[in-house]
Each structure stands twice: as C-alpha cells, then as structure tokens.
Chain A
Amino acid sequence: MSIGRWLRPWRRRRILEEDLARELQVHLAVAAEEQQERGLAPEAARHAARKQLGNITYLNEEMREMWGWTWLQRLGQDARYAVRTLRKSPAFTIVAVTMLALGIGANTAIFSLVSAVLLRPLPFPDPDRLMVVRDDASAIGGPPRTPSTPADYAAWNEQSRSFTGMAAMTEATYNLTGSGEPQKLAGVRTTANLFTVLGMQALVGRTLLPADDQPDANAVVVLDERVWRSLFGADPGVVGRTILLNGLPQVVVGIVPSEFQFPVSHAALWVPARFTPQELAVRSAYVMDVVARLKPGVDLRTAQAEMTAIAERLARQFPSNKGINARLVPLHEQLTGDARPAMAMLVGAVVLVLLIACVNVANLLLARAASRQRELALRKALGAANTRVVRQLLTESAVLAAAGAVIGIALSTFTFRYLARLVPGGLPLGTEPALNVSVLLFSATVTSLVVLVFGAGPAVVASRVSLNTVLKSGAARATGGLRTQRVRNALVVAEISLTIVLLVAAGLLLRSYANVLAVPPGFEPSHLLIAETVLSPSKYGTVTARSAFYGRVLERVRALPLVTGAGYVNYPPLTFRGGRALFGIEGEPPPRQENFTRYLALDRFVTPGYLQTLGVPLVRGRHLDERDHEGAPFSVVVNEQFVASHWPNQDPIGRRIRFGANPNMPWLTVVGVVANVRQSGLDAPLEPEVYWPADQTVVNVPFMWPQHLVVRTAGDPLALSAAVRRAVSDIDPNQPVSNIRSMEQLFAADVLDRSTQMMLVAVFAALALVMASVGLYGVLSYTVTRRLPEIGVRMALGAQRATVVMEIIRGALLLAASGIVIVGH
C-alpha cells in the first residue's frame, strides 16, 4: 500500500501528460482540417495549425507548473546540470570537494566520538537510576568526589533506605598461573551484589551471588568475555573449571559480556570481595568505588538528602568524618566527566575547521560566479527568473557538499580506531565510535547547513547580475563589482582570523605540554626499569615472608651486570594517582573539620634502597635502611612539601606523626627529608609525601605491600627484562613478573593524552592554515587576473616590475594583517 501511495502522484502525472498530448493532437488535427477547408495544401495547413497553437514546449511547461510537479523535475535537471558544469572545471571542483570532505569528515569523526562517549546510554537497564557514591570533602577544601573509605561504605550500606542495593569494590591485580605463561590480570574485588545492582546478566554460567560473599564460601571468579576468548578460546567448558589466581584455586562460575567493563574498562575478572570487619573499619584510606541503584520512586534529591543526613551523623561520631559529605553522582556523569573538557576542545577545533572550509568554498564560488556572469546574464535574458538562478546555484553547492559529505564520512570511518586515544583515561564502558544513524543524521545536518552557509551568499550575489552591464561590456571586464571584491576580501580576512584562533590554541597546548615536560619530576627518570611482582596473599601475607622475598630478590638483582641500584615500592611515580592517608602531627590536635586536607599526604611503602635507586635527593637526616626492620622503632621519611606544610623553618628530624586519626596508632619518627616527587603525574600539584619502611606496618592490607621492583642500570633498562625475570623466578618459580616498563615509557604514557590532543589540534590548525592559504591565493590570483590589462599598460608606460609585485604583495599582507588584528582584539 505504501508503495502505491508513493507512486500515485507519478501515475497521476503520467495520465495528465498523456491526456494533454492527446488533446493537443486532436486540436492540431481539427485546426489543420479547418485550414484545409480555407484552401491551404495539407502540408501548409498543418504548419498553420501548429503556428496558431504557439510554442508547445512552453505550453507543456506551463501545464506542468500548474500540476505542481516541476520542482522535482527541475531539481533533477539542476543536479544533472550542476554535475556537468562542475566537471567542466575539475580544479575548482576537486579543491572545493576536498575542503568540504575534510571539514565534514573531521566533524563526523569527532561527533561519533562525542556521541559514543557522552550521548550513548550505559549498557545497563534503567541506567539513569545508577548512582556512584563518593566522599565529598569540598566543604573543607578537599576534593569534591573521591572514592570512599571502607568504613563510610559500610555505614552507608547499612543505614540508607533509598537504594535497591549498594555495591563496593576495589581494584586489584591478579596473577593467573597454572595455564601456560603466568598472566597478570586487572581484577575487581567486589561485593557480590554488583551484578544485581547494575542489572547485568552472565553470558555463560552465572554472575556472583550473595552466598559467594560469605567468608567460608567456595572461592569463585567471574571472567570477562575478552579474557575468556583470548586465554580460554571461548570454551564454555571453562565454567566450573578451577584456575589459579595469586596462587589460590578459584572456580570460574560465569562469563560476563565485554560491554560490562566495570568500574574500569580493562577489568578482566571479578571476585567476591569478602571484606573483613577489619577492612571495613578503615577510616583513613579513600579506596572504595561505590555504586548504588535508586529504588523505584526515589529521586536523586531525596536520596541525596538521606545520604547527607547519614554523613552528618558519621561526622558527629568520628573526627575523621568531619566535613565529609556523601555525594551521589549519576553513573553516566561520573564515567564521562573527565572526557568533557577534552571533547569540548575538539568540537571547538573541528567546528572552526568546518567554518574555514565553508568560507573558503564560498570564496571560490564567488570567484566562479564572477567569471560566470555572462552565462548567468544570458540565462536571465532568455527568461530565467532570479529565484530560478539562485536555485540552480544552490543545487550546485548541494552537489558539492554531498560529494564532500560522502568522501568525508568515508574518511572519518578510518579514524574511529584512533579516536579512543583522545579521551583521557580511555573510553568508559566499551564505547567505541561507530557510524550509526545519529552520526549520519548529524553529518547530513552539517552538510545542509554547510550548503546554506557557503552557497547562499554567492548564489544571491551572482543572481543579481545586471543584464545591461554584463551583456554590453566584454567578458573580461564584467567580472564582479567592487562590492563582490570587498565581500571576498572580508571572507579571506575572516578565514585568516579563524585560522589564527586555531593556531593560537595549538600553540597554547604545545606550551602547556612543554611546561609539563619541563616539570622536574623530583628523581632521575632515565635508565630505570619497573617490573611488577604481584604477591599472593596466601604466600606473602606476613611481613616476615615478604621481607625475606624482597631481600633475596634485591640482592640477586643488584648483582646483575650494569645494575647500580634496586628497590621495592607499592607504587612507583606515575603508576597510581591515589594512595593518600591522613597523618596526625604530634603536638597538634587530631585533624579537624577546618584543616582536614592539611593532614592528607601521599604514602608510599618502600624497601631500603628504593629512594636511592630512584635518585631522590636526600635533603636532611638519613634514608630508610636495614635499621628500620620489624619491631624496631617506627621510622618514616617525608618530603620537603610535608616539612613546608607542617614544620616550616623548623628541624623536622625527630618529629613524630601518626597514621590516621586514631589515637591508638603508634607514633612514627621522621628520620629523613627527601626532595619532592611528582607521584601522581607531571601535571599534578606538589603534595606532602610520607615513605614508610616496608617492614614496619601498622595496617596489613595488600595495596600497601611493595609489589613493584625498580631497578637502575647503567645501560638500556629494557635490556634487563629477561635477567630480572630470571632473578625473580630463581627465588620463587611460581611468582609471575609482569608489566615490565621503563620509566621513560611511563613518562610518555603520562603525557600521552595531552600529546595526542595537542597533535590533533595542531593537525586541525595546519589544515586550517592550508585552507586559508588556498583562500588567500584564490583572491590574489583572481585580483591579478582582473588587473592584467591595467598592469600591462602600466608596465608598457615604464612601471618597474618590482613596484607592481610589491603592490600586490602589499595587498596580500594587508588582508593577512587585518585577520591578525581582528584576533588580537
């Protein structure tokens, strides 16, 4: 039915056409007979009848117009005509289409990224009801959204009534052994209700159940689809099989689809957290990712009010909770928040590129219109209406834009793979840019806007040709009045201004990039090798066991040729942006609401030799060494920033600090001061830092265990990889060594987001520069061509070559300078 309905107008039209033709035939026959009766010969009679009827083509045209079908026919006609004319000037067409393709393609690519990251809904049912719960220390000048303390999670989970469930998780690394090469996998220790809260079903087998979270339940694990495919060949029989994680047997109970990447996009497995009461009592470490689902009928405000009430209750109960609110953040916002500024910048850059492309094509069209004035004037002389000419020219623009769009969209698909790198911290939740309906709709809209922007002006200008001047004067002189020339100059100036905006943006990014690279990291980054040895809690759960392991490995590694130092740390610089704790200062009251953030410091757990290996200069006192063993008086080393914030102009050696706000914690004596290290990244601000001896723990939790081996060598650090692996496996054959990197690689990765964004904006700026040059060239060469007779006469009368050249260059410089001045203001 729908097809019939679509065809009805066409059918009706055919009937009308045939009817008219037949009617005219009868008319002519009758008229001819009548002429014959008047005595004309048959041939002459037919001729007279035809003459009497007039122009049949014109009549047909008039009838068609009345039937209301001409626009479609004209569109086709115009499009065919446009293609023909464009093919006649291939240089113009290629330049215009290329510029539009680049503009539209760049916009399509960036929009596909924006739509994938910001607009696509999360792959969970009712994603709007999912909230991340964070600690908010903004009231006391701290971060507004940090992962929560385990104790806060425990309290929220117990006291809140607004949620169907609240899950908490921490990231952890697992060594998969017993099936081929030991593998290091990013894992998540989560409460078993995570999957229920998010509403995620297993692909094979099952997800975690509340029973799995009981301390005495069987050890189980849920694997990610990608791990299942790459390590287990997508064998469904893996479910039910036992694998070794950190040396402990765990039963695989299910596989979850790969779009379930929570809370981080590289999560490979999920194990029940089985948080111990001891763990859930920790109030000083901000390590828990908490996600909750709002109950039906409960809105964000109600839930937030409840959470605030709970937080206030906690603040009255515990000093360390003073000024800390519990903040609900919609999950989507939390996942995409970091990406927004970068996206805004990229969108700004591509829109500028598109504008420049439009301006440029508009300029080319104006020049073309000027040289086509005779053609247009002739068409008007033959009866074409003004609107008809405008429509013809707009159709030409549309054909150009359509060609540009097709090529641009095709080009943009090649960029999808690289786009993911533009988002700081990677794309959340497996969102990959792809060509979909919304992206195509966007491109179509952009293309139509483009036609209007660059096509309308030139079309109107061109249609205003004056028949008299054009047809009377010769072609050479009839090429656009002063006004057109001014418009073209203005367009070039605008184009140069836009280009300069982009160039300046690229320059600023480059400078901030250079600034970041110039930041002294606080240590000597070259010739350093980093290897991760994730220790299994079953084997290395005690300080004694770990201490023996560190001692033997370090002894072995230090004996390797070219090695000048080695040490262990829980997180080397640039590997982890968190790891802060509260430290009370002897002689000061415990941390209070007003000055809470003053007591936050990055804490790192190190073996003797670590700071020396890193090359952190010792400022006062001594480094940590073998004296600081288990059972010895607690010693710590702090950095200069710590001293500056707590004991300015005083001798810090011998001062004492305390972990957390708990008065039962032992005092730690400061034995040395070292230079500041940018632990959290080169662009991070300076922070107070505390280094603990690995052998002296007050809280025994795995993320405080040194698991990164740092080695300094006189040669190429990566050349040491094999020797380091061997050294570790000689000590413990089941201990995997993973993630071997040089510190220089970490540096490059740290500034990668910045450098890719900078590169991209620089590419856009270069593109704009080329386009602006083409635009300027177009205007100049056009002006020169127009002035050729004049220049010829002047040269003949004795003008110097140099004078003429200078005059033209001056014109160009004037245009460029105007563009620069406009930006400058």
Chain B
Amino acid sequence: MSPNTSTDRPALVQGTLDMLVLRALTLGPLHGHAIATHIERTSEEVLQVDHGSLYPALYRLQKRGWIRAKWEPMPDKKREAKYYRITPAGRRQLVREASKWTQLANAIARVMQAGLKDHP
C-alpha cells in the first residue's frame, strides 16, 4: 500500500487540475498516466491527482482546443499510448490561469500573514 493515502494531504483545489495539466504539457507530449505522475512528483507527492478525474479533464481541455491528442508509440516502441500536446491557445490559457493563481495565492498568503501578526 502506498504511504501517501493519508487524509491530511490537501485535495486538489477545485479547478486547478486543468491548469496543472496544461503546465505539465509545456514540457512536452505526455500520456495520461505520465501527466498524473508528473504532477505528483513535481509537487513532491503533496498533490494527489485522482487518476479517474484526469480523463474527463483531458476531454474537456481537448474540447476547448487547449490540447491535442494523438496515439503514438511509447519509448519502448512496443506499445502505443495516447499522447497529449498543448496548443498555442492552451499556452495562452495557461498564462491567464497562472497569473490568476499567483494573485489568489499571494492574496491568501497575505491574509494568513496578517492574522499571525495580529495574534502573536
């Protein structure tokens, strides 16, 4: 059993999965499992991606034209996987999302800091 199933790990904030997927894809084409593991590893196992919710998200992003999918051989050349790539529209979307996220994160951080100062 994985040691990471404890409940005190933060769940993914609603609506951020799309942004994280887009971010992951800026590094190059990835298949579904790779996207999930990439997010988990780069967050140092803090963020846990529900693999089941990944595919609806991927479908949604495709529909909006932010990513493209194609069946391609995997590095071992034995199998094919469905690789997703980010589109230029996706990149623009990522910039918008990221700046919104930064604002939000900074705002939350400021609120939290203020609280600490008032009540030492």
Q: Which of B37, B50, B53, B55 has the most CB of A within 10 A?
A: B55
B52→A58 contact, CB < 8 A: yes
A30→B31 contact, CB < 8 A: yes
**A26 interface residue (CB < 8 Å to B):** yes
Complex Cα spacing A19 to B58, Å:
13
**B19 interface residue (CB < 8 Å to A):** no
Tell which of A19, A26, A53, A55 touches B79, judged by Cβ atoms closer than 8 Å. A26
* Besides A30-B33, A63-B55, A66-B60, 17 other A-B contacts (C-beta < 8 A): A23-B31, A23-B81, A23-B82, A24-B55, A26-B31, A26-B32, A26-B81, A27-B33, A27-B51, A31-B51, A48-B1, A48-B2, A52-B51, A54-B51, A56-B52, A59-B55, A59-B56
Q: Which of A805-822 contact B (CB under 8 A)?
A: none
Q: Which of A2-29 contact B (CB under 8 A)?
A: 19-20, 22-24, 26-27, 29
A63→B56 contact, CB < 8 A: yes
**B59 interface residue (CB < 8 Å to A):** yes
**A62 interface residue (CB < 8 Å to B):** yes
Complex Cα spacing A48 to B55, Å:
18
Complex Cα spacing A63 to B31, Å:
18
Which residue of chain A has the shortest Cβ distance to B37 in the bound complex? Answer: A34
| Chain B residues, CB < 8 A from A58 | 52
Complex Cα spacing A26 to B34, Å:
11
| Chain A residues, CB < 8 A from B33 | 26-27, 30-31, 34
User: Smallest distance from the beta carbon of B64 to chain A beta carbons, Å?
Assistant: 12
A66→B56 contact, CB < 8 A: yes
Which residue of chain B has the shortest Cβ distance to A22 in the bound complex? Answer: B82
Q: Which of A392-436 contact B (CB under 8 A)?
A: none
User: Smallest distance from the beta carbon of A812 to chain B beta carbons, Å?
Assistant: 56
| Chain A residues, CB < 8 A from B60 | 66
Complex Cα spacing A19 to B55, Å:
12
- Whether A20 touches B55, Cβ cut-off 8 Å, given contacts A26-B79, A29-B79, is yes
Tell which of A22, A23, A30, A54 touches B52, judged by Cβ atoms closer than 8 Å. A54
| Chain B residues, CB < 8 A from A54 | 50-53
A-to-B contact residues, CB < 8 Å = 19-20, 22-24, 26-27, 29-31, 34, 48, 52-56, 58-59, 62-63, 66
Complex Cα spacing A20 to B2, Å:
26
Complex Cα spacing A53 to B33, Å:
10
Which residue of chain B has the shortest Cβ distance to A16 in the bound complex? Answer: B59
Question: 24 A-B contacts, Cβ less than 8 Å apart?
Answer: A22-B82, A23-B31, A23-B81, A23-B82, A26-B33, A26-B79, A26-B80, A29-B79, A30-B34, A34-B37, A48-B1, A53-B51, A54-B51, A56-B52, A58-B52, A59-B52, A59-B55, A59-B56, A62-B56, A63-B55, A63-B59, A66-B56, A66-B59, A66-B60
Which residue of chain B has the shortest Cβ distance to A55 in the bound complex? Answer: B52
Complex Cα spacing A110 to B79, Å:
69
User: Smallest distance from the beta carbon of B6 to chain A beta carbons, Å?
Assistant: 15
User: Smallest distance from the beta carbon of A47 to chain B beta carbons, Å?
Assistant: 10
Complex Cα spacing A23 to B81, Å:
7
Complex Cα spacing A19 to B82, Å:
9
Which residue of chain A has the shortest Cβ distance to B2 in the bound complex? Answer: A48
The 6 closest A-B pairs by CB, nearest first: A54-B52, A30-B33, A53-B51, A59-B52, A27-B33, A26-B81
Tell which of B1, B2, B32, B50 touches A23, judged by Cβ atoms closer than 8 Å. B32
| Chain B residues, CB < 8 A from A24 | 55
User: Smallest distance from the beta carbon of A60 to chain B beta carbons, Å?
Assistant: 10
User: Smallest distance from the beta carbon of B74 to chain A beta carbons, Å?
Assistant: 8
Complex Cα spacing A243 to B44, Å:
112
Q: Fill in one digit per residue for B12-53: 1 if any A CB lies within 8 Å of its CB, else 0.
A: 000000000000000000011110010000000000001111
Which residue of chain B has the shortest Cβ distance to A62 in the bound complex? Answer: B56
User: Smallest distance from the beta carbon of B97 to chain A beta carbons, Å?
Assistant: 21
Which residue of chain A has the shortest Cβ distance to B79 in the bound complex? Answer: A26
Complex Cα spacing A342 to B32, Å:
73
Complex Cα spacing A52 to B1, Å:
11
Complex Cα spacing A54 to B53, Å:
9
| Chain B residues, CB < 8 A from A66 | 56, 59-60
Complex Cα spacing A18 to B114, Å:
53
| Chain B residues, CB < 8 A from A55 | 52
| Chain A residues, CB < 8 A from B55 | 20, 23-24, 59, 63
| Chain B residues, CB < 8 A from A22 | 82
B37→A53 contact, CB < 8 A: no
Complex Cα spacing A30 to B79, Å:
10
User: Smallest distance from the beta carbon of A69 to chain B beta carbons, Å?
Assistant: 13
Which residue of chain B has the shortest Cβ distance to A20 in the bound complex? Answer: B55
Complex Cα spacing A100 to B50, Å:
50
User: Smallest distance from the beta carbon of A701 to chain B beta carbons, Å?
Assistant: 88
Complex Cα spacing A29 to B53, Å:
18
User: Smallest distance from the beta carbon of B53 to chain A beta carbons, Å?
Assistant: 8
Q: Which of B79-106 contact A (CB under 8 A)?
A: 79-82
User: Smallest distance from the beta carbon of A22 to chain B beta carbons, Å?
Assistant: 8
- Whether A53 touches B81, Cβ cut-off 8 Å, given contacts A26-B33, A30-B33, A66-B59, is no
Tell which of A26, A34, A59 touches B82, judged by Cβ atoms closer than 8 Å. A26
A53→B52 contact, CB < 8 A: yes
Complex Cα spacing A55 to B55, Å:
12
A30→B81 contact, CB < 8 A: yes
User: Smallest distance from the beta carbon of B3 to chain A beta carbons, Å?
Assistant: 11
Complex Cα spacing A708 to B75, Å:
110
Which residue of chain B has the shortest Cβ distance to A28 in the bound complex? Answer: B33
Complex Cα spacing A53 to B37, Å:
12
User: Smallest distance from the beta carbon of B94 to chain A beta carbons, Å?
Assistant: 22
Complex Cα spacing A781 to B22, Å:
64
| Chain B residues, CB < 8 A from A31 | 33, 51
